Structure 1
Amino acid sequence: MREGKVGEEQEGSGLGGARRPASRTQSVVAMPRWRRVLLALLVAAAWFGPALLPAPPPPVPTTPPPSPRVIVAYSLESQVQMEQRVPVPCSPPPPPPRAAPAWQQTARHAHLYSAHYDVRLPTHHYVRIVAMLEGHDNGSFFCQVWFGGQPLVMEALEADMWVSSWDREDPASLYRPVLLSCPIPRERSVLGDWPSGVSVARKPCDVARSMLVIAPPPSHPPRDFAVCVKGMDFPREDISRRLVEWLELNRLLGADEFFMYVYGVHPNIKKVLDRYSRAGVVKVVPLKLPGKQPNSPAGRSRFLRTHLWQKRRNEVVPYNDCFYRNLYAHRYVLPLDVDEVIVPTSGRTWRDVLAGLEPRLLDGFASLSVRNAYFFDDFPSESASRFPAHMHVLRHTTRSANFSPADEAVKSFVSTRWALTVFNHYALRTVDPAVGRSVVLDTAVAQLNHYKASCSPLMVHDCHSNFLKYRVDDGVVLRFADELMARVDPVLRELGLLPR
Structure 2
Amino acid sequence: SSSSHSSSKLLVLKAKKEYEKWYKQNIVNIPVELLQSSTEYHDPKHCTKLPNLFDLNFNNIYWQSLTTKNRGIAYFLSAYYDNRYLIENRPMLRIISVIKEVDLPFVKYCQIWFKNEKKLIRSNVSNPITMEPFKTPLHTYILSCNVPKEYSMHIPTAVSLVEGECDLATNILKVNYNMPKDGGDKENFAICIKGIDYPHQDLSFYLVEYIELCRLMGVHKLFIYDYDSHPNMSMVLRYYEIQDQVQVIPMTIPGTRPNLHGLIHEYVKVYTHEKHVYERIPHNDCFYMNIHKYKYLAFFDLDEIMIPNEGKTWSQLINAVMKKEKRNKGSKYEPPSAYLFQGTIYNDALRQPYGWDPDIPKHMFMLQNVYRIPFNSRYPKQIIDTERNLGISNHKPQKCIGICKTHHMQPSEAYISHFRTECKGKCKTVIKDTNTWKYKEELIENVEKSLRNIGLL
Shorter-chain-normalised TM-score: which range? 0.7 to 0.9
Instruction: Supply the distance in 1 between the matched residues of 2:233 and 2:159 (Cα, whole angstroms).
Output: 35
Q: Residue 340 of structure 1 contacts residue 449 of structure 1 at CA under 8 Å; is this kept in 2? A: yes
2:170 to 200, 209, 217: 209
Q: How does 1:71-470 map to 2 (within 5 A)?
A: 90=45, 92-96=48-52, 102-107=62-67, 108-120=72-84, 121=87, 124-134=90-100, 136-141=102-107, 142-147=109-114, 148-164=117-133, 167=134, 170-171=135-136, 174-189=137-152, 192-220=153-181, 221-358=185-322, 363-380=334-351, 381=354, 384-400=357-373, 402-405=374-377, 408-431=378-401, 433-436=402-405, 438-455=406-423, 464=425, 467-470=426-429
Identify if the C-alpha distance between structure 1 residues 130 and 188 changes in structure 2 by more than 3 Å, giving closer, same or farther. same
Report the Cα offset of residue 366 of structure 1.
1.4
Amino acid at match of 1:150: K
1:385-443 C-alpha deviation (Å, 9 max, x unpaired): 3311110111011111x2112xx221111111001011222211002x2342x321111
Report the Cα offset of residue 214 of structure 1.
0.9
Alignment RMSD, CA only? 2.3
Q: Secondary structure at 2:321's aligned position in 1?
A: coil
Q: Secondary structure at 1:356's aligned position in 2?
A: helix
Identify the residue that residue 9 of structure 2 maps to in structure 1.
none
1:476 aligns with 2:435: yes
Q: Residue 176 of structure 1 contacts residue 313 of structure 1 at CA under 8 Å; is this kept in 2? A: yes
Report the Cα offset of residue 122 of structure 1.
7.2
Larger Cα-atom Rg: 1
Amino acid at match of 1:134: K
Q: Residue 90 of structure 1 contacts residue 153 of structure 1 at CA under 8 Å; is this kept in 2? A: no
Identify the residue that residue 450 of structure 2 maps to in structure 1.
491
Q: Residue 372 of structure 1 contacts residue 448 of structure 1 at CA under 8 Å; is this kept in 2? A: yes
Report the Cα offset of residue 158 of structure 1.
4.7
Instruction: Supply the distance in 1 between the matched residues of 2:129 and 2:273 (Cα, whole angstroms).
Output: 15
1:60-93 C-alpha deviation (Å, 9 max, x unpaired): xxxxxxxxxxxxxxxxxxxxxxxxxxxx963531
Q: Residue 93 of structure 2 contacts residue 144 of structure 2 at CA under 8 Å; is this kept in 1? A: yes
Q: Residue 178 of structure 2 contacts residue 290 of structure 2 at CA under 8 Å; is this kept in 1? A: no
Amino acid at match of 1:211: I
Amino acid at match of 1:256: H
Instruction: Supply the distance in 2 between the matched residues of 1:217 and 1:289 (Cα, whole angstroms).
Output: 24
Provide the TM-score with structure 1 as the length reference.
Answer: 0.74
Share of identical aligned residues, percent?
A: 27
Instruction: Supply the distance in 2 between the matched residues of 1:284 and 1:473 (Cα, whole angstroms).
Output: 35
Q: Give the gaps of 5 or more residues in structure 2.
A: 1-42, 327-332
Report the Cα offset of residue 278 of structure 1.
0.9
Provide the TM-score with structure 2 as the length reference.
Answer: 0.80
- RCO greater where, 1 or 2, for CA within 8 Å and sep 6 or more? 2
Instruction: Supply the distance in 2 between the matched residues of 1:419 and 1:390 (Cα, whole angstroms).
Output: 38
Instruction: Supply the distance in 2 between the matched residues of 1:177 and 1:449 (Cα, whole angstroms).
Output: 28
Report the Cα offset of residue 160 of structure 1.
4.3
Identify if the C-alpha distance between structure 1 residues 490 and 153 changes in structure 2 by more than 3 Å, giving closer, same or farther. same
